[in-house]
Amino acid sequence: MNCVELERLLSEYAEGALDEARKAEVERHLAACPACAAEARDAAAAVTFLRRAERPEPPPELVTRIVFQLTSGMAQRQQRKRSWLNSLGVFLEPVLQPRFSMGMAMTILSFSLLARLAGIQVRQLNPSDLDPVKIWRTVDDRVHRAWTRAVKFYDTLQAVYEIRARLRELTEEPGPAAGPGEEAQNGAQPDKKK
Amino acid sequence: MDPESRLVARCLEGEEAAWEELARVYTRRVYSMCYRFTGSDAQAQDLTQEVFLRVFRGLKSFRAGEGTFATWLARLTRNLLIDHYRRSKLERVTDSIEDQLPMLEGSGATASRTDGLLSEREASEIVQKGLQKLSPELREAVILRDLEGLEYREIAEVLGIPEGTVKSRLNRGRAELARVLRQQRVLA
């Protein structure tokens, strides 16, 4: 037996796991080779010492934690399988948080207050209210009405300014003979007529 | 079907009690490996939890015909430990043994005890400190064989190396450990 062959048997020799024939063969080589003998001594001493070492025990709460982790994971997995709605819930999870829910609630409240102030009647919605044709007609009607109202307002405003201008001309007609007192009176008159 | 395979099958069927049993049976072994490798109780606890989380997610990938569940679990644990080792900065404690000698001599002078007088707990602590001086390759071979009692074939499977290499690493690991223990004067 040479040193390379001994290397293959050394680990089992150190453990005392070799049969008698192999063991005798190894010991013959060790008697003739001081380097291998030293290595074998070290290996055997290490094995003996390692066998004396106590096995480290995990703290009991670790087992409890792992059991909880596994069983809760199991429960979650089963719950997830139960309904596709849960997967939707998982998808929407980042949005469905208290702060976002509060934000949404405040937005709805603000819009409802604005709608109330604007005189929009809140009533029960019917399926027919969601008909796109009906929605389009309503919006179109509202837009046309608003446009007509704006045009009328503009025309009325124009007429008012024209009348005012005409009145101013009439009151200013008396001419340069009028004194400062009269001018002051004339200046105040259009306001009264208004 | 052996009890181990039956337990795994029950877990795969989603039986909650089976998962609980699996945790109770294997936590000790996984924790022991993690603690021996890292030398830290807190890290060992975190890593043990992580191992079981990976088992929970990846148990489907275990094939009963390709080896025992215990070997599969040991491989998973070992891979996690190596990942953890690479992430952390443990390299500094695996400096050459020679660099550590002055420090070891110093601690050995105060803790000089004869081998026969040490309790199992003290021996365990000394082994723990000694293991931290070994390189990860040698350390894992020694842990799996001498502390976890795996067969050479199983260790080869866990580490993904031939049996001859396992034996060679084991010889080197034991020799280095013996040198460390001698420096601490716990070995004659």
Predicted pLDDT at B116: 54
CA distance B121 to B127: 10
Mean pLDDT check: name the lowest of A86-95, B155-164, B168-177.
Answer: A86-95
A193 has pLDDT over 50: no
- Give me the mean pLDDT over the B15-28 stretch: 89
Phi, then psi, of A121 in degrees rounded to 5: -80, 125
Residue reference for tokens 């002055």: B102
B97 has pLDDT over 90: no
Predicted pLDDT at A149: 93
Domains in chain B (CATH in brackets) are 3-87 (1.10.1740.10), 95-183 (1.10.10.10)
Asked if A75 reaches chain B (Cβ–Cβ under 8 Å), the answer is yes
* DSSP one-letter string for B93-160: GGS-HHHHHHHHHHHHHHS---GGG--HHHHHHHHHHHHTTS-HHHHHHHIIIIIT---HHHHHHHHT
N-terminal to C-terminal alpha carbon distance within chain B: 48
Asked if B151 reaches chain A (Cβ–Cβ under 8 Å), the answer is no
Predicted pLDDT at A126: 74
Predicted pLDDT at B171: 93
Percent of chain B clearing pLDDT 90 (strictly above):
34
Residue B120 and residue A74: Cβ atoms within 8 Å? Answer: no
* DSSP one-letter string for B65-103: GGS-HHHHHHHHHHHHHHHHHHHTTGGGGGS-HHHHHHH
CA distance A92 to A87: 9
Q: What angle do CA B142, B38, B52 make, to 5 degrees?
A: 95
Predicted pLDDT at B187: 74
pLDDT, one tens digit per residue, over A150-167 is: 999 999 999 999 999 999
Comparing alpha-carbon positions, the chain B residue that sits nearest to A72 is B16
B177 has pLDDT over 70: yes
Confidence of residue A79 (pLDDT cuts 50, 70, 90): low
A76 has pLDDT over 80: no
Q: At what angle do helices B163-183 and A34-52 cross, to 10 degrees?
A: 80
Asked if the ipTM is above 0.95, the reply is: no
Q: How far off is chain B from A72, nearest CA to CA, in Å?
A: 9
Residue B123 and residue A53: Cβ atoms within 8 Å? Answer: yes
Residue B124 and residue A54: Cβ atoms within 8 Å? Answer: yes
Q: What is the pTM of this model?
A: 0.60
* DSSP one-letter string for A85-146: HHHHHHHHTTTSSHHHHHHHHHHHHHHHHHHHHTTPPP----GGGG-HHHHHHHHHHHHHHH
Q: Which residues of chain B have a CB within 8 Å of the CB of A65?
A: 49
